[in-house]
Amino acid sequence: MIYNPFPMRVVSKRDEAPGVRTLRLEFVKQEDHDYFSTNYRTGMFGLYGIFGEGESTFCVASPETRKEYIECTFRQSGRVTTTLANADAGDIVTFRGPYGNRFPIEEFEGKNLLFIAGGIALPPTRSVIWSCLDQREKFGNVTIVYGARTVADLVYKDELDEWKRRDDVNLVLTVDPGGETPDWQDHVGFVPSVLEKVAPSPDNTIAVLCGPPIMIKFTLNALEKLGFSAENVYTTLENRMKCGVGKCGRCNVGSVYICKEGPVFTAAEVQAMPQADL
- What does the alpha-carbon distance between residue 126 and residue 134 come to, in Å, rounded to a whole number? 12
Q: Closest distance between other proteins and the C-beta of residue 193, in Å? A: 24
Judge whether 175 and 147 are in contact, CB under 8 Å. yes
Does position 54 bind other proteins by CB under 8 A? yes
Does position 79 bind other proteins by CB under 8 A? yes
Q: Closest distance between other proteins and the C-beta of residue 31, in Å? A: 15
Which helix (H) or strand (E) covers residue 33, if one does?
helix 30-39
Judge whether 118 and 147 are in contact, CB under 8 Å. yes
Does position 255 bind other proteins by CB under 8 A? yes
Judge whether 206 and 232 are in contact, CB under 8 Å. yes
Does position 11 bind other proteins by CB under 8 A? no
Q: Which stretch binds other proteins (CB under 8 A): 155-163, 185-193, 217-225, 239-247?
A: 239-247
CA 257: distance to chain centroid? 18
**DSSP SS3 for 47:** strand
Does position 274 bind other proteins by CB under 8 A? yes
Does position 19 bind other proteins by CB under 8 A? no
Does position 246 bind other proteins by CB under 8 A? yes
Judge whether 40 and 64 are in contact, CB under 8 Å. yes
Site of interaction with other proteins (CB under 8 A): 1-4, 7, 9, 51-56, 77-79, 81-82, 90-92, 94, 213, 239-240, 242-243, 245-255, 260, 274, 276-278
